[in-house]
Amino acid sequence: MQKKTFTLIDNRTGKEVEYPIIEGTRGPAAVDFRNLFKDTGTFSYDPGYTSTASCNSTITFIDGAKGELRYRGIPIEILAKEHSYLETCFLLLNEHLPSISELHNFDLELRHRAFLHEGLRNLFNAFPDNAHPMATLSASVTALASFYQEHLDMNNETEYHEMAHRIIAKMPTLAAFAYRHSLGIPFIQPDIDLSFTKNFLTMMRAYPGGKMHLGPLGHEEIKEIEVRALDTIFTLHADHEQNASTTVVRNVASTGAHPYVAISSGIAALWGRAHGGANESVIAQLEMIGSVENVDAFIARAKDPNDDFRLMGFGHRVYKNFDPRAQVLKKLQDELKETLGLDSRLLDIAGRIEEIALNDEYFVSRHLYPNIDFYTGIILTALKIPKNMFTPVFVIGRTVGWITQWIEFKKDPSSKIARPRQLYLGD
């Protein structure tokens, strides 16, 4: 079979250089330019890495043109509909869906690992009461590295899976504690009798003693449909290929830093308004628009090249079709509309924006379809999760993806420290 190559011609010198083409099992092939500088004395120039594959991976596949997302080869629609978040976590970490006994043991281990070291609990007292939960969460994950400093033997599968299970289990507790500290209210300890997702909702909502908010009919219990909705959101956020925060995690991993420090760096990157913080911005913008009558005016502003107003929740760097995660959440939102009493005013505003965007040539020609952030905020609001916790919820779901990417990087013998070059234009 003839070897596939890419021939580069330097028109300054007439020199031809040949580079191998690496075929993927799905998606575009890649030209192996690793020796470009050595061969030609020039760098490739790709700000934002729009056409650069920084690694090879078997974890997640995205086809932006088709609107396709797969974890370990399984379409996200199937995982979201037929499997739980913990099954998805197991799949990402172990490359196969768990058996009944494997899922039972995995679930049991995470329940017992959800508790925090008392020293780490005390650390929260050092943070200001008004700190954003993302700042507290990032700092506490960094601190977690000081409580688990052991050197990881990457030839020992038991060791790195223990490390992975620990951070997945503790992240909901850290996030809930960060939220409750921001309010100055007592922490609620994990409950080993509760599932992963229900435990998080309980730690967010309960009063000491495990009681929920008191309503007209007595103590309000967490509904199973609420658990299922949040579990679906966790699944949809579990991994998303080489996005900004995942790239940060891999880059920090390349320095040999502790995995929890790498994940803390990913949390910091995710906080950005252009990344994970977008879901918080979407709900804030819907509230700012205020009513359906105001939508057309804001749409006009979004289309005005002289106006810096940007419509949040539309378009995606990779997807040039409907974000498949958004389609899952759209169906979930419609299902929850009556059951959870979703904010009808925000739904009406969002519905009108969606209707216009899906039919207006301006949006259609630019592939500005609703993305996952457009629907997440309304659902999280119905789950009584405040706006400043939207991104920590994203963190909880994404932790398994980050740690799986970290493991893959560390196991790859060709991995090197990240060191991009630059095109210098100064004096």
Active-site amino acid positions: 316, 373
Q: Of 412, 418, 415, 408, which Cα lies nearest the Cα of 94?
A: 408
Would you say 89 and 239 are in contact if contact means Cβ atoms under 8 Å apart? Answer: no
Cα distance between residue 261 and residue 194, in whole Å: 29
Q: Rounded to 5 degrees, what are φ and ψ at 63?
A: -115, 100
CB-based contact 207:215 (threshold 8 Å):
no
CA distances from 350 to 299, 317, 330, 339, 393 (A): 12, 21, 11, 19, 21
Q: How far apart are CA 362 and CA 365, in angstroms?
A: 6
Crossing angle between the packed helical segments 85-94 and 157-183, to the nearest 10 degrees: 140
- Rounded CA-CA distance 406/51 in Å is 22
Distance CA 317, CA 337 (A): 29
